[in-house]
Each structure stands twice: as structure tokens, then as C-alpha cells.
Amino acid sequence: MADVAGAEGDGVRLCGIAAVRERPVRVVIGGQALVVWMTSDGGPRVFADRCPHRDARLSAGYVADGRLVCPFHLWAFDEAGRAVGPDGATHPTCIVRRFDARLRDGGVWIDAVTERE
């Protein structure tokens, strides 16, 4: 787990890209626990580190088929944070909080801990 204390004027560096290539990483910023992970096309995603189903840490899970999988009941979440069932159907009422992220200077950055609408 990384603990990030503050932000620069142009964002907050959460972790290095190499740290999240293999598995999700937990980062705490401003008291907010986040999980950083990479999509199948190499794009960064940052979600709240809490499964909406049973409050498990998503950072203890893994990425499979481009989805973040919760370790508790194996619920999977797509790149938009929506729960995806085994049949591929999304469940619009079960959504993980998502934060905008970008790659820069070898790291994963966010502007602030502001939820994406």
C-alpha cells in the first residue's frame, strides 16, 4: 500500500506504472483508500478500494478479461466501475466509485480525489 500525502498543482502521482502492471495496488490519499489498476489496453483506472457488495478491498483482487475482480465473492467490475455478471450483463445499480486517471512521467496520476460523474 502506498500512502500519498499531498498534491502538486497539476495533480497527484499515485504510483509508478510498473507497480500496477502485474496486479492492482492500494493507495491512500487524503484518508481515501483507492485501488489503481491497468486495463487490458494499458489504460489506468482508479476506483474506491471498496467493493459495493461486501466492502472487501478490491486491491486484494486481480484483473481478468479487462475487469477488476473482487477477492471476496469474485464480483467483476468493468472499466467504468459497473458490476459485470458471468453472462456479461452489467448491473447498473452496483457501481464502484471511479476517479479520472492518466499516465504521465512513468506514473499514474489523478487531478484530485474527486469522483467521476
CATH of the domain at 57: 2.102.10.10
pLDDT for 113 equals 67
- Residue 74 is assigned to a structural domain of this protein: yes
Would you state the pLDDT for residue 24? 98
Give the E-state strand segments of the chain in sequence order. Answer: 2-4, 12-16, 25-29, 32-38, 44-48, 62-64, 67-69, 76-77, 82-84, 90-95, 98-99, 102-104, 107-110
Q: Is residue 116 part of a domain?
A: no
- Total of domains in the chain: 1
> Stretch 57-76: mean pLDDT, rounded?
94
Domain span including residue 77: 2-107
Element (H, E) at 32: strand 32-38
What mean pLDDT is predicted for residues 69-98?
90
Tell me the average pLDDT of the chain: 88
- Could you tell me the sign of the dihedral formed by the alpha carbons of 11, 81, 115, 47, in that order? negative
The one-character DSSP state at 59 is: G
Structure confidence at residue 6 as a pLDDT band (50, 70, 90): very low
| Residue 11: inside a domain | yes
Length of the chain equals 117
